[in-house]
Amino acid sequence: MTTVVVCAGGPMGELCSFEPYKERKDVLFIGADRGALYLIEQGITPHAIVGDFDSLSQVEFKQVMEHTNDTQRFHEEKNETDTDLALLKALTFSPTDIVLTGVTGGRLDHYEAAVRSIYRMQIQHPQVILKIINHANLLQFLVPGTHTILADQQYRYLSFFAHEKPIENVTLRHVKYETTNEQISLGTSRFTSNEIIGASGSISFSRGICLMIRSID
């Protein structure tokens, strides 16, 4: 089991906490552009760094280069974003989980691009759990089937949204607001701010893609 934490270069205040990952031997870190510097400043040596590094000064880039032996530098004119390149690098480690942080709170186009990348990769690699995490939220796409959701006081609130098309036969169990074989339609806010009751809850559905967001109060 391998978890890869990808740190992009968004505002530092939006980063997730790295403390739960630092001491784990099954965690690898990848820095995307300025995200590599953020990791180093947190006392983390990136296993790889990726990007065009246009957001770093020469001094900062030299500092980053001194902390890793695996560097992929690209021209600024490229088809992929730095985050995309880092996610592709993460997949080369055959991970069970990929955590992406540093993509919220700054430019909305970068955030939207990151969400679309996570969605695309989740569909292409259903065996990998992909998440976007910041200081207060966790975002994840769910494919049809049954999903157990462990209770976590850090993420008390639980919301579900239809992505691209309605979600069919939605059954929620062990949550404050349960449902049986209902639909989450596009544009509805009805499935916002649920809460898990007990140690875990679950969602099952037969068709569609579910965007799940877990949030701190």
Q: Cα angle at 18 between 17 and 23, to 5 degrees? A: 140
Share of the chain above pLDDT 70, in %: 93
pLDDT digits (tens, 9 = 90+) for 186-205: 999 999 999 999 999 999 99
Question: In this model, does residue 217 exceed pLDDT 90?
Answer: no
pLDDT of residue 36: 87
Of 204, 5, 188, 176, which is closest to residue 89 (Cα–Cα)? 5
pLDDT of residue 81: 82
DSSP single-letter state for residue 15: P
The arithmetic mean of pLDDT across residues 48-61, rounded, is 75
Q: Which helix (H) or strand (E) holds 32?
A: strand 27-32
* 75 confidence band (pLDDT: 50, 70, 90): very low
* 3 confidence band (pLDDT: 50, 70, 90): very high
Q: Write out the DSSP string of 130-155.
A: EEEE-SSEEEEEE-SEEEEEE--GGG
pLDDT of residue 1: 81
Beta-carbon contacts of residue 124 (< 8 Å; ≥ 6 apart): none
Of 152, 179, 151, which is closest to residue 160 (Cα–Cα)? 179
* 71 confidence band (pLDDT: 50, 70, 90): low
pLDDT of residue 73: 55
Question: In this model, does residue 44 exceed pLDDT 50?
Answer: yes
The arithmetic mean of pLDDT across residues 136-142, rounded, is 95
pLDDT digits (tens, 9 = 90+) for 91-119: 999 999 999 999 988 778 888 989 999 99
Question: In this model, does residue 57 exceed pLDDT 80?
Answer: no
Integer CA distances (angstroms), 147 to 3, 154, 165, 171, 172, in order: 19, 19, 19, 10, 10
24-50 in b/e form (b: 16+ CB < 10 A) is: eeebbbbbbbbbbbbbbeeebebbbbb
Question: In this model, does residue 76 exceed pLDDT 60?
Answer: no
